[in-house]
């Protein structure tokens, strides 16, 4: 089945500007295409046009023509479209509708009135393809993110639709599970010959398996439509605010001019002599010495055990320190104990054994509130944190409560150092503090806005602003970059680095390898409740045993190093990070 | 909570195998019977019968015990309030006054005590059947069964959806509450002032509603994309077969309910008081 857009434009009912402008795109039957673009570029809108959510669930105006298998979806119902197009949504949790795996896969068949016995047969077949038959009776609560993703795929396979649409299939998955899903999609493509569309901004991960074509959307328009080798050799991804694969970035940084003929989309082709020479000329071994930490210890976790039910330990014997101004990343797969650890540090949970010190004071027995005055916790989804309608009220909420509660206790050290202010004392009025905080967070222009009209990235900043009002010493952030494209993400992380530079300690809970590599100075890796590594990210990502145990994935930089014959992988990774940092400072 | 995050206890008993809509009918007629009478004999009969049935249901004893404790405590409080508000209700019902003792302004009469006992047992006798219905019925089978007896599937499926997402929303509530507590806005023991606790609890509503709306949006899209509502009927993955034993149960049910109904019609006294 083919998909054809002809001069197609679309405008949402409540928006002034069209979200898609003059799209001309043909996707042939059996093709595998990656559709990339920043958040807000229109890539999801394009997808909704194909799967029928537009116009059936989301209203708007369109012009031009869209044909799916020769018929206009506008003349059909969403159900007729769903026969041709199967969609796997990005939120694995919400799209798991059934109470068990089998039931969820059967959902579409139930709605298609397939007889119960026949249905059980088809469900088993679909689950076989994704290798999940052993889980048929399990509930969604017993599955990992990657397993839920497989179940969703089985649910679409059972529909026998010819087009499969994947909406950010890698979101919320740990690197190893993400890799599995990409392989699974590739197998499906090879075995069934279905037309496959993948909407993603994590280009490096999708390109681990080959795609026929990449389509890049920017501000509602298609700015590139062609084979991967072409776009990787060009500079289009960067201009569209998307991240190139790290190994491609490395080759480009070495000043090697790439052409489509290099077929760089396959990392194995980097063994080419010219590329090799260029990289070797560029790379200067850094001879990493373990950075001597002279800064003051802020947080010290000593031999901590934790268990929810007193029988199974969720964390055992965890020890680590966090220093002033340090950005520490905590890595590990789902269930490794990352969120339990952040619960312990923020005082929500109490350790069963061991001690936690904050500035040399033992905090085991402190109340959540008291710990919260020192340790701020920023959730993954800002909407789960924001309690007021207006930005102003949200940010002031904690400030007012705190100023009224303990007048004179606030020191706002980080603010002082950011603004070189000498005396912010209790007489400084709330208004002034509030304005400083939103200025720091880059929200000054929005101070009178309702929060609902802010973008997702801005909401995230608002959530941090409301935490900063508590004058914390440490901030824990859960997946701070989830759902954000490269551009928003980099500017957000720069802001976090500024906060750290002012003396805050930052803990990032994440499975984003790029984030850990480029923005944290140290990583600890948890696996099955134990700490299995505590080192610089560059060293950690060069160790295959740790990568495997923690469901991480080797970086393409490491791969590049081995292809070229650089033995000290971690040093090469570190060199790349340092170079990238220098360039971003110059920029 | 079972592994499905619902109250269903996966096991195999007579009640687990029974047609879910029939179970619902048993429970409904049981309740009607209980509320028809204000008669200690009926209450005791139904309670004993209920306990016997409950023992056949293979629900873990600990669940049964805990729930009974809760309901009994609730009933004691309920009885106390009824006594405080209408201390002479027993007298109004029976026309007799037998004072047992005087407590401050109140005098406790034998009639009122007997009335409160009857009333409490009445509520408690609903318990066993309610527990059987809740703990032995798989939500999906319940939905398909309701659909079979004529309830539109969109309504019947609501049960599935509720059971599927309640645990998610519970978790969401917990994380939101914890994040706010860490911000110094706890509604638990951490906060000493009661008014602040209430205010802090109230503050959770916006994020909770936000996340619920987001979820509803996503779930609706996911259901649309997979053809929910396509036809007027649908089939079910999890379903039960109507068995001979179900007809037997239905017959027994009709006979017993008929008996109770005829007793009610012939016996016009509102309240049974033997003393």
Asked if A383 is an interface residue toward chain B (Cβ–Cβ < 8 A), one would say: yes
Residue A310 scores a pLDDT above 90: no
Is B153 a domain residue? yes
- Examine residue B2 and state whether it is found in any structural domain, yes or no: no
Q: Which chain B residue lies closest to A345 (C-alpha atoms)? A: B182
- Could you tell me the residue ranges of all domains in chain A? 3-241, 245-282+555-587
Tally of residues, chain B: 275
Q: Is residue B201 in some structural domain?
A: yes
- Classify residue B1: in a domain, yes or no: no
Low-confidence ranges of chain B (pLDDT < 50): 1-2
Domain count, chain B: 2
Residue A471 has a pLDDT of 82
Residues B88 and B216 in one domain: no
B158 and B188, same domain (yes or no): yes
What is the tens place of the pLDDT at every residue in A518-542? 999 999 999 989 999 999 999 999 9
Same domain, B194 and B247: no
Yes or no, beta carbons of A100 and B4 under 8 Å apart: yes
Looking at every residue in chain A, the average pLDDT score rounds to 87
A548's enclosing H/E stretch is helix A544-549
Q: Are residues B191 and B101 in the same domain?
A: no
In whole angstroms, what is the distance from residue A46 CA to residue A49 CA?
5
DSSP string across B72-103: HHHHHHHHHHHHHH-TTHHHHHHS---EEEEE
Question: Does residue B178 belong to any structural domain of this protein?
Answer: yes
- Same structural domain for residues B17 and B130? yes
Q: Report the candidate in A321, A342, A337 with the shortest Cα–Cα distance to residue A534.
A: A321
ipTM above 0.85?
A: no
Residues 105-124 on A with a CB inside 8 Å of B are 106-116, 119-120, 123
A430-474 pLDDT tens trace: 777 788 888 888 888 888 888 888 887 788 888 888 888 888 899
Look at residue A39 in the predicted model and tell me its pLDDT.
Answer: 80
- Phi-psi category of residue A241: left, alpha or beta, with phi > 0 → left and psi -120 to 50 → alpha: left
3-class DSSP string for A386-432: CCCCEHHHHHHHHHHHHHHHCCCCCCCHHHHHHHCCCCCCCCCCHHH
pLDDT one-digit tens code per residue, A253-303: 888 778 888 888 889 888 888 889 899 999 988 765 555 667 789 999 999
Whether residue B206 is found in the same domain as residue B253: no
Q: Which pLDDT score is estimated for A291?
A: 59
Nearest to B4 among A99, A384, A397 (CB): A99
The owner of tokens 């010493």 is A473
CA angle A68, A70, A76 (to 5 degrees): 65
Task: Indicate the residue of A103, A112, A376 with minimum beta-carbon distance to B238.
Answer: A103
CA distance A272 to chain B (A): 46
| Nearest-by-CA chain A residue for B180 | A385
Q: pLDDT class for A409, splitting at 50, 70, 90?
A: very low
Calculate how close chain A gets to B227, using CA atoms only, in Å.
5
Q: Which residues of B touch A123 (CB under 8 A)?
A: 237
Q: Which of B167, B206, B215 sits opposite A141 (nearest CB)?
A: B167
Are B66 and B85 found together in one domain? yes
φ, ψ at A358 (rounded to 5°) = -120, 120
Residue A82, min C-alpha distance to chain B (Å): 6
**E strands, A177-269, where?**
195-199, 213-218, 221-226
Rounded distance, CA A309 to CA A317, Å? 17
- B213 in the same domain as B162: yes
User: Which of A78, A123, A368 is opposite residue B182, by nearest beta carbon?
Assistant: A368
Contacts of A348 (CB under 8 A, 6+ apart): A368, A377, B178, B181, B182
pLDDT tens readout for residues A365-393: 888 888 888 999 888 888 888 888 888 88
Share of chain A above pLDDT 70, in %: 93
Q: Which residues, at least 6 apart from A249, have a Cβ–Cβ distance to it below 8 Å?
A: A576, A580
pLDDT digits (tens, 9 = 90+) for A239-250: 888 989 999 999
Question: Domain residues for B212?
Answer: 139-237
pTM: 0.84
**Fold classification of A3-241 (topology level):** Rossmann fold (3.40.50)
Residue B21 lies in a domain: yes
Length of chain A equals 587
Whether A384 and B210 lie within 8 Å, measured CB to CB = yes
Chain A residues with CB under 8 Å of B221 CB are 53, 57, 89
């Amino acid at each position: 089945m083919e998909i054809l857009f002809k001069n197609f434009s679309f405008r949402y009912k409540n928006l002034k500007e069209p979200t898609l402008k003059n799209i001309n795109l043909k996707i042939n039957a059996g093709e595998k295409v990656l559709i990339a673009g920043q958040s807000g570029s229109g890539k999801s809108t394009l997808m909704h046009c194909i799967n029928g959510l537009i116009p059936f669930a989301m209203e708007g105006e369109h012009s031009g023509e869209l044909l799916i298998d020769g018929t206009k979806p506008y003349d059909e119902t969403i159900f007729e479209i769903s026969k041709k197009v199967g969609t796997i949504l990005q939120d694995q949790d919400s799209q798991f509708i059934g109470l068990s795996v089998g039931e969820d896969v059967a959902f579409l068949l139930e709605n298609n009135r397939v007889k119960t016995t026949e249905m059980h047969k088809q469900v088993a077949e679909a689950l076989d393809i994704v290798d999940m038959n052993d889980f048929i009776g399990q509930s969604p609560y017993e599955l990992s993110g990657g397993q839920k993703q497989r179940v969703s795929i089985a649910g679409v396979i059972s529909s026998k639709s010819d087009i499969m649409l994947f909406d950010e299939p890698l979101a919320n998955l740990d690197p190893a599970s993400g890799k599995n899903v990409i392989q699974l999609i590739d197998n499906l493509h090879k075995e069934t010959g279905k037309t496959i569309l993948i909407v993603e901004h994590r280009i490096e991960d999708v390109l681990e398996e080959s795609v026929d074509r990449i389509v890049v959307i920017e501000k509602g328009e298609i700015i590139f439509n062609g084979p991967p080798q072409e776009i990787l050799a060009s500079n289009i991804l960067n201009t569209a605010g998307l991240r190139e694969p790290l190994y491609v970035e490395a080759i480009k940084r070495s000043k090697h001019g790439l052409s489509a003929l290099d077929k760089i989309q396959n990392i194995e082709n980097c063994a080419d002599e010219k590329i090799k020479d260029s990289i070797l000329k560029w790379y200067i071994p850094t001879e990493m010495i373990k950075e001597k930490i002279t800064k003051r210890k802020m947080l010290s976790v000593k031999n901590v055990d934790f268990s929810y039910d007193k029988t199974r330990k969720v964390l055992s014997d965890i020890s680590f320190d966090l220093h002033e101004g340090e950005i520490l990343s905590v890595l590990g797969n789902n269930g490794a104990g990352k969120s339990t650890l952040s619960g312990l540090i923020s005082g929500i949970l109490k350790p069963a054994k061991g001690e936690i010190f904050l500035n040399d004071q033992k905090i085991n027995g402190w109340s959540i509130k008291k710990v919260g005055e020192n340790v701020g916790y920023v959730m993954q989804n800002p909407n789960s944190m924001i309690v007021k309608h207006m930005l102003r009220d949200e940010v002031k909420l904690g400030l007012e409560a705190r100023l009224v509660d303990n007048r004179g206790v606030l020191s706002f050290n980080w603010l002082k150092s950011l603004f070189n202010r000498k005396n912010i004392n209790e007489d400084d009025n709330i208004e002034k503090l509030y304005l400083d905080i939103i200025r720091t967070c880059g929200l000054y222009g929005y101070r009178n806005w309702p929060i609902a009209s802010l973008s997702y990235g801005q909401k995230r900043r608002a959530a941090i602003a409301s935490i900063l009002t508590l004058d914390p010493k440490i901030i824990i952030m859960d997946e701070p970059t989830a759902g954000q494209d490269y551009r928003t993400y980099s500017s957000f992380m720069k802001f976090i680095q500024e906060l750290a530079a002012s003396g805050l300690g930052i803990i990032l809970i994440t499975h984003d390898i790029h984030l850990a590599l480029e923005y944290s100075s140290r990583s600890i890796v948890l696996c099955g409740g134990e700490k299995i590594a505590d080192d610089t990210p560059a060293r950690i990502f060069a160790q295959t045993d740790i990568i495997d145990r923690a469901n991480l994935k080797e970086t393409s930089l490491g791969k590049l190093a081995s292809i070229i014959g650089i033995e000290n992988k971690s040093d090469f990774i570190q060199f790349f990070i340092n170079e990238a940092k220098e360039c971003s400072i110059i920029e | 909570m079972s592994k499905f995050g619902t109250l269903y206890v996966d096991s195999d008993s007579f009640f687990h195998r029974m047609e879910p809509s029939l179970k619902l009918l048993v429970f409904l007629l049981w309740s009607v019977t209980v509320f028809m009478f204000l008669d200690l004999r009926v209450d005791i009969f139904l309670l004993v019968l209920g306990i016997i049935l409950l023992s056949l249901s293979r629900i873990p004893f600990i669940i049964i015990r805990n729930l009974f404790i809760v309901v009994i405590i609730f009933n004691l409080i309920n009885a106390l309030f009824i006594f405080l508000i209408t201390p002479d209700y027993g007298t109004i019902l029976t026309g007799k006054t037998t004072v047992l003792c005087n407590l401050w302004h109140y005098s406790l009469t034998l009639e009122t005590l007997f009335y409160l006992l009857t009333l409490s047992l009445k509520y408690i006798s609903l318990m066993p059947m309610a527990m059987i219905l809740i703990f032995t019925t798989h939500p999906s089978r319940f939905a398909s069964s309701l659909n079979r007896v004529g309830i539109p599937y969109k309504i019947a499926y609501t049960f599935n959806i509720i059971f599927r997402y309640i645990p998610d929303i519970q978790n969401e509530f917990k994380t939101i509450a914890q994040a706010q507590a860490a911000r110094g806005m706890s509604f638990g023991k951490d906060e000493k002032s009661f008014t602040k606790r209430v205010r802090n609890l109230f503050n959770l509503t916006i994020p909770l509603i936000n996340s619920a709306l987001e979820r509803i949006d996503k779930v609706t899209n996911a259901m649309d994309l997979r053809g929910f509502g396509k036809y007027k009927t649908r089939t079910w993955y999890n379903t039960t077969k109507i068995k001979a034993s179900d007809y037997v149960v239905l017959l027994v049910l009709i006979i017993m309910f008929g008996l109770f109904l005829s007793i009610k019609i012939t016996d016009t006294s509102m309240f049974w008081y033997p003393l």
